[in-house]
Amino acid sequence: MYGGTTFEHETTTSLCVACGIPLDSQYFDDSSVQAVTQPGEELVLARFELPAQYCGVLEYFSQFTDVFATDASKIATPNIEWKILVNNHGLFPYMSLRQIVNPWGFGSYQVKIRLDEAATVEFVARVLPTVISNSPPDPPIKFVGGRIMGRFWYNAAYGDVVGHRH
């Protein structure tokens, strides 16, 4: 009791002892492969919108180009800028990647980025003008792909009117 007000905290969800995520969480997984369009265009390769009163975590993302698929040494994407957006804001440090850092199909590195209640996460590829250089040109990228995966769960702090007894 503090200042004449009693606060009761009820926990109705069990948490994983290893990661702290509710055991009843759900998974999300979205992906697409799209043809590269005109410079200046943005391709939304993957998108997930958390429902109201739900929060979550982005656990993995992966990238694909048709050029990388034929030669795994071709990680540079000079005319493609990759970015992850949360609620239309760039997610640091994934705001302006110009190379493949998490290749699709090779076991992506886990990122574990917390997503606020009702957040929208997007994986976007922006087509840039072709860069002219003196080195032999790589084959042009014709297709790009992106995938995002994670977990989400109901968060009583955003909507449990029964649990809020002040």
What are the boundaries of each domain within the chain?
A: 26-131+139-158
User: What CATH code would you report for 26-131+139-158?
Assistant: 2.60.120
Q: Strand 89-90 and strand 143-154: pairing?
A: unpaired
* SS3 call for 158: helix
pTM exceeds cut of 0.75: yes
Mean pLDDT for the stretch of residues 115-140: 85
Tens-digit pLDDT profile for residues 72-114: 899 999 999 999 999 999 998 888 999 999 998 877 788 989 9
Q: Is the pLDDT of residue 41 over 90?
A: yes
